[in-house]
Amino acid sequence: MIKPQDIRTVFMGTPDFALATLEGLLDTGVDLCAVYTQPDRPKGRGNKLSAPPVKELALARGIPVYQPVKLRDPAVVEELRALAPDLIVVVAYGQILPKSVLEIPRYGCINVHASLLPRYRGAAPINQAVIDGEEVAGVTTMVMDVGLDTGAMLIKRATPIGPEETAGELHDRLALLGREAMEETLERLCAGTLRAEAQDDALSTYAPMMKKEDGRIDWSRSAQAIHNQVRGLDPWPGAFTHLDGEVLKIARTRPEPGEGEPGTVLSAGADGVRIACGEGVLLVRELQLPGKRRLSARDFLQGKHLPPGTTLEP
């Protein structure tokens, strides 16, 4: 039986999604000797350098922080090797771990991935699962190898996706689920009962990084498909159409029965704007014009008239 405090651990992660797992490791009492995260990046209108969320937490807890531009740099690898970690835990780090790093810790590099592998390997599993209309999501801990999310699976945790749940909302829930999965992984590692299961590549799907263009709405698609697109791209990059030549972002949608010319406003009231789709009608409850805040349909319509028959362009 190994004790958590006997496992010399390095954590690698960058965004908010990684925070819960890092906090969980700290609470379990592992010997966390270092945190690796991405370099500070310019942010906001002033382009001021901003520290990643993981860095801020690590510094607040007195943990040494490393921010290499390239983890595969031989000097960086040697610096990591000198730390002599028994375990490396990786959550949304943002860099690929080279073979030279994967081979350092005796317990391997364990990744918390935000999908039920082997489905949704890649950079945007949460967005893609919602866009695809999946009803269940989850997290998987896995032993990392040189492939992209192809390593042997350790622990899985699943959760239903709500019919109106956004990628952002699911993201926050999966972050907590990731912490739970990693805590169980660590418990089993300490108890000597951790077992790895190879992925079936034939069942794998890929979730590439999202681009702004992915938000463009094709009104000839079904209301359900557009609804899934809208919530799968909320909060970023956002689903959009065009109104009078301006980009119009839409959010908080719901598919309804009905028919009409795709892309045509059928009605607009306090409860939302109804837009005809290739199949069914989409109720839009929040809208946003460039440089403006996202508004409820009621507030939006006070400043912008959307009479029935208004046509929205892709």
Annotated binding-site positions for (6S)-5,6,7,8-tetrahydrofolate: 115-118
DSSP one-letter string for 225-247: HHHHHHHHTTTTT-EEEEETTEE
DSSP one-letter string for 93-143: -SSPPPHHHHTSSTT-EEEEESSSTTTTBSS-HHHHHHHTT-SEEEEEEEE
Cα gap 8→88, rounded to integer Å? 9
Annotated binding residues, written as ranges, equal: 115-118
Q: 139 with 110: CB under 8 angstroms?
A: no
Of 177, 174, 184, the residue nearest 126 (C-alpha): 174
Give the Cβ contact number of residue 14 at 10 Å.
21
CA-to-CA dists, residue 207 to 28, 110, 115, 131, angstroms: 32, 20, 10, 10
The total number of residues shown for the chain amounts to 314
Taken in order 160, 162, 167, 168, is the CA torsion positive or negative? negative
Cα gap 258→18, rounded to integer Å? 42
User: 32 CB contacts (<8 Å, ≥6 apart)?
Assistant: 9, 10, 11, 25, 26, 63
Instruction: Report the largest interatomic distance among the alpha carbons of the chain, rounded to a whole angstrom.
Output: 70
DSSP one-letter string for 22-73: HHHHHHHT-EEEEEE-PPPEEETTTTEEE--HHHHHHHHTT--EE--S-TTS
